[in-house]
Structure 1
């Protein structure tokens, strides 16, 4: 950052290089650097330090200006960001499917307005498989920085006006932020990862260091002891960052306590000063400084290139393609640094440049938000049908909430009633119960109706808790089995419900099922078996027809791989089907089927329905039928998939056998 209030330090550019290379290597070759994503935390500390220095110096001199501060930020951030957003819009128009294109528009709008972290928080986690298909996912960190830049100058300026101790204010807010991080990392892991309140302490660590450095006067006599301490700080700081990059994993509760390593490491390296050995010899060498200088555009470019390549290929990228994407990102970053950024960061007509940059960024956001990048190939009839489907889903949720108003406060799955009351069919289970609602509701007789009770990863059995080992999902799964119990109380007490379908994704209960009536028994198969028999007994005694559903095949790759795209980087393969034996060897599915078959021997009136017979033949399983994709992700059927299997289910519902 070029600013008259800051003395240039090449070692900080070297630290930027370490941070950005960690992120790039993690994204391109995660097995080489499993914790490379902590480079973002290093960036936060650097940003906090530099911005803190600017603010504290200008406040001390009584020269601080909000307009000057934000003008510099706009001229620093907007040029490269706009170019990358424009690239994504153009490339997306060429290679994305309709749904992907609409989602990109949303992400462009969020990126242009610096709320991308909120957008991605609402969708999923940073480490989800679907993250690879979001070309602007990386803008979450830029959004956090810009949100920090909005509130932190106001806080410091207010403290300065009130003659408050700015260091004390900074420390208190940092402690509060760190406490939010630690207390929320298990119960709200996605929000803790993506949102400023739990991340601000990382930037404030840099601001605290800036205050201490300024109070020290900048120049300190280089005694032997001071030199030794600086060298030790540099070595320890580098060791902490490198350790985190190699030994922190995406499965760890991050940021949490783990983020202390890269944050402390960055603080120590900056505090060590440019004369420390590590800083002088490793961080200040020309290659490191070069990468540091282009680190911002490199960060912006690398992920869209990798993501679009992954989308185009519809498969895991080869090492050669990933390496080519990284090299291309470096080239584009240099061109951006050399030709795009300089005209805006210096020279005359600064106000005009700011106005122009804000205008084009607003335009980019409007293009995404207003849908000017309109979906391709969607006719009016199909759009109306899709709208009607969503309306049906929304109304059914409202109907159920009249009976179960707290359902979605306990889990992230909805319960749905086709009619407010007098539904004749109930489907109980996890999201794989929920996926069946639309097709059945459209094709059942008008006099009938379907009610769906779905809870996150819940097995459809009384007093059986499943999928509890994933701490990141505890909030939506801890009480899921209680919802299933309440559903059965309702079903058994309602004489109008004649048929009950039990639907479940076996991956959710595989080696992770607990019988809440006998939690000491650690055998998940025994727990599931006892739960099945308990549930079959309760339902058959209530004169309900019971159908246990064996689930649709789990896909070995993302269903978008089945779609025809304008071009690929390598020769295309058939991704609209896969070998049947690949599904037959799926251990969670085979184990679950064996348990169901064994449990129903004591309940011959309970029927088993296997969805794979509808979606597979003897040799292959299919993602699409009649030219329509049937899956929305690796395991869930989309609306067309729900409609496709509905006749098969309705035949079983209406059968007298």
Structure 2
């Protein structure tokens, strides 16, 4: 193996060598963590702040590789010391945050969410959080905001890198391989996987270590170049000297001259600023991640003497934030996430500002405690205690997950709601008569309407989106034994001609042509009307297209056309809203039969529009607000059984909820 440079390294009494402290890198850490905190607390103000994690990856790869390269050069690298140092560095703060989340969740989370928290604690303690979260949903999904340990995915990737990378480098060093070549090859392979998979598997590309390792490895390449004086680097130095007529390359820095250093740092900072403006969540990381990573590399490689690094990043305020950046990163998201869970939505701006300030205070306290714990855990016993504690916390989280969140914490009458589970597709003929948004426009199974054996003038056809699909099982349960129920439903595709994307428009045209052939007695149109916009006023395109659709159905020879008006929708999942109502009803703790709180007012506006214009059309409007709601609020469950909720999410009907509507349609004579 070729030699590594000593410049920039400080030998300590320990076996490992450590890089000379650079306050400007702490300042860059501050920038990274402030971007992430800003993105989570004020996404409208800092829309691209999530790139702070990518900056962290570059910094981590640079620092950790500097330690390993220098230790290998001096033949002082010890795996035990390396991993002991990592344990002392991250376990104290991580343990405190995990235990705090567990304790707070015990008193504030329903059974289902507490079970999930237990799983995430187990994943965080075992540094596999990224893999656990990958199986659930994407980082940018709305549901992700309600996971207090969502941010642990990045720690999982870092620690997985820290476990594997030292082994690779040590093995390469023993075999006298060219480390720079090896690092560049691995970097290129990781980046290629990132580009190849970002379109087909965006979630796995975001969470998997093999598709994010290139960001850490870019810091590793920088560390190698900063520590090693090769003939090539001297050649570059001489060329720069002759071209730019500036000072010689300073040992230990990759850029010659103050002008180059200052320009390099400024360009790096500019790239980070550009990242905030142009990088979007869609298709990230992909090619986009190059920009913040390149920015971080340029800032770090400019060295501590670049003007921006020395006078801005190395300033006392940036350095202070940088020193507490790790505990600040750990604390800020659980506080914001728990606030969203308790509030049932995005907290007020004032509340979020207070949450950020609280996070900073807790981070400073944690940092001070960390310093003391590191001193106490300097020996083998301390490492054993920290490791055992982390294993115990992980085991506790796993037990919590396996025991369904210790459901005995709650009275029996609320358990079914706090841990409400619903198989929404099992009785709604998903993949046959309920298609996904991207399925072929004519992908409906024969039994849905074409080859169903239905004779002209008979049968009821349900046409609409996923909300209509969820109405089908209730209608089938009520009249299915006497009437042929036909179903043509597609997710995110309302029953409106020439509406939506090309697949939706083709699908609806195909459905109308089929209706002309089979001529069912009744056609029921239903959808989450408010989800396609709340403006259904006179002159709106949606209103005109829906009226045109009704006219075309009438022209096809269908006399009985029913439009189900908007179903009441909730601002959060109905189980959670009912649970919070029960919890806040102190001291009686009653499960509400009806609720006004938590209803989405925008849906009611659409209901008003529908009453105005559908009643003047050739269709029969059935306002679902009249069937499910009264002056006391809208139904939460049926038959006096709290476990029979009308919806499991914001508004899709359960079969029990759909049966209530179907029964009332039959009783009122709307469906004959």
1:454, 1:68 → 2: CA distance? 61
1:386, 1:92 → 2: CA distance? 14
Verify the 8 A CA contact 2:127 2:155 in the aligned structure 1: yes
Q: Are residues 352 and 112 of structure 1, via their aligned partners in 2, closer, same or farther at CA, if it must alter by over 3 Å?
A: closer
Residue 337 of structure 1 and its aligned partner are, at CA, apart by 2.0
Map Cα deviations across residues 50-83 of structure 1 (whole Å, 9 max, x no partner).
Answer: 2222333344455545454444334433332222
- Secondary structure of the corresponding residue to residue 564 of structure 1: helix
1:238 matches 2:269:
yes
Match of 2:327 among 291, 297, 300: 297
1:349, 1:449 → 2: CA distance? 74
Residue 534 of structure 1 and its aligned partner are, at CA, apart by 5.3
Match of 1:362 among 387, 390, 394: 394
- 1:557-568 correspondence to structure 2 within 5 Å: 560=576, 563-564=580-581
Verify the 8 A CA contact 2:60 2:216 in the aligned structure 1: yes
Gaps of 5+ in 1: 469-477, 513-521, 569-573
Verify the 8 A CA contact 1:74 1:357 in the aligned structure 2: no
2:171, 2:433 → 1: CA distance? 47
Verify the 8 A CA contact 1:241 1:266 in the aligned structure 2: yes
1:8, 1:565 → 2: CA distance? 54
Q: Are residues 509 and 305 of structure 1, via their aligned partners in 2, closer, same or farther at CA, if it must alter by over 3 Å?
A: closer
Verify the 8 A CA contact 1:579 1:621 in the aligned structure 2: no
1:334 matches 2:350:
no
2:129, 2:485 → 1: CA distance? 38
Query: Which residue number in structure 2 is paired with residue 548 of structure 1?
Result: 563
Match of 2:412 among 375, 379, 382: 379
Match of 1:352 among 381, 384, 391: 384
1:140 matches 2:140:
no
Q: Are residues 349 and 430 of structure 1, via their aligned partners in 2, closer, same or farther at CA, if it must alter by over 3 Å?
A: same
Choose 1 or 2 for highest CA Rg.
Answer: 2
1:110, 1:221 → 2: CA distance? 39
Map Cα deviations across residues 100-138 of structure 1 (whole Å, 9 max, x no partner).
Answer: 333323332333333333444444443444333222222
Q: Which moved more, 1:251-260 or 1:224-233?
A: 251-260
Match of 1:460 among 495, 500, 521: 495
Map Cα deviations across residues 326-385 of structure 1 (whole Å, 9 max, x no partner).
Answer: 222122222222224642575111552354144224323323322363134363997599
Match of 1:254 among 278, 284, 288: 284
Query: Which residue number in structure 2 is paired with residue 647 of structure 1?
Result: 663
Q: Are residues 353 and 384 of structure 1, via their aligned partners in 2, closer, same or farther at CA, if it must alter by over 3 Å?
A: closer
Verify the 8 A CA contact 2:427 2:473 in the aligned structure 1: no
- Secondary structure of the corresponding residue to residue 18 of structure 2: coil
- 1:93-172 correspondence to structure 2 within 5 Å: 93-157=106-170, 159-160=172-173, 163-172=176-185
1:537, 1:341 → 2: CA distance? 79
Verify the 8 A CA contact 2:110 2:418 in the aligned structure 1: no
TM-score by length of 2: 0.75
- 1:58-97 correspondence to structure 2 within 5 Å: 58-97=71-110
Q: Are residues 566 and 219 of structure 1, via their aligned partners in 2, closer, same or farther at CA, if it must alter by over 3 Å?
A: farther
Q: Are residues 150 and 407 of structure 1, via their aligned partners in 2, closer, same or farther at CA, if it must alter by over 3 Å?
A: farther
Verify the 8 A CA contact 1:577 1:622 in the aligned structure 2: yes
Residue 295 of structure 1 and its aligned partner are, at CA, apart by 0.9
Q: Are residues 121 and 485 of structure 1, via their aligned partners in 2, closer, same or farther at CA, if it must alter by over 3 Å?
A: farther
Count the aligned residue pairs: 612
Query: Which residue number in structure 1 is paired with residue 11 of structure 2?
Result: none
Q: Are residues 368 and 527 of structure 1, via their aligned partners in 2, closer, same or farther at CA, if it must alter by over 3 Å?
A: same
- 1:318-329 correspondence to structure 2 within 5 Å: 318-329=348-359
Verify the 8 A CA contact 2:464 2:495 in the aligned structure 1: yes
1:415, 1:338 → 2: CA distance? 63
2:468, 2:158 → 1: CA distance? 41
TM-score by length of 1: 0.77
Gaps of 5+ in 2: 1-13, 231-248, 586-591
1:577 matches 2:596:
yes
Q: Are residues 577 and 11 of structure 1, via their aligned partners in 2, closer, same or farther at CA, if it must alter by over 3 Å?
A: same
Residue 19 of structure 1 and its aligned partner are, at CA, apart by 0.9
Q: Are residues 207 and 336 of structure 1, via their aligned partners in 2, closer, same or farther at CA, if it must alter by over 3 Å?
A: same
Map Cα deviations across residues 141-184 of structure 1 (whole Å, 9 max, x no partner).
Answer: 22222333344445445554555443334334433443444455
Match of 1:503 among 526, 545, 550: 526
Residue 426 of structure 1 and its aligned partner are, at CA, apart by 5.5
Q: Are residues 310 and 224 of structure 1, via their aligned partners in 2, closer, same or farther at CA, if it must alter by over 3 Å?
A: closer
2:486, 2:118 → 1: CA distance? 35
Residue 457 of structure 1 and its aligned partner are, at CA, apart by 0.7
2:367, 2:419 → 1: CA distance? 44
Query: Which residue number in structure 1 is paired with residue 219 of structure 2?
Result: 206
Query: Which residue number in structure 2 is paired with residue 472 of structure 1?
Result: none
Residue 267 of structure 1 and its aligned partner are, at CA, apart by 0.8
1:265, 1:488 → 2: CA distance? 55
Verify the 8 A CA contact 1:269 1:279 in the aligned structure 2: yes
Q: Are residues 322 and 150 of structure 1, via their aligned partners in 2, closer, same or farther at CA, if it must alter by over 3 Å?
A: same
- Secondary structure of the corresponding residue to residue 175 of structure 1: helix
Residue 216 of structure 1 and its aligned partner are, at CA, apart by 3.7
Aligned CA-pair RMSD: 4.7
1:579, 1:566 → 2: CA distance? 15
Verify the 8 A CA contact 1:503 1:549 in the aligned structure 2: yes
Q: Are residues 344 and 451 of structure 1, via their aligned partners in 2, closer, same or farther at CA, if it must alter by over 3 Å?
A: farther
Verify the 8 A CA contact 2:629 2:635 in the aligned structure 1: no
- Secondary structure of the corresponding residue to residue 274 of structure 1: coil
Query: Which residue number in structure 1 is paired with residue 56 of structure 2?
Result: 43
1:278 matches 2:278:
no
Map Cα deviations across residues 245-288 of structure 1 (whole Å, 9 max, x no partner).
Answer: 3x246565433444333211111111111222211122222222
Verify the 8 A CA contact 1:109 1:368 in the aligned structure 2: no
1:277, 1:332 → 2: CA distance? 32
Residue 304 of structure 1 and its aligned partner are, at CA, apart by 1.0
2:40, 2:562 → 1: CA distance? 44
Match of 2:634 among 616, 622, 630: 622
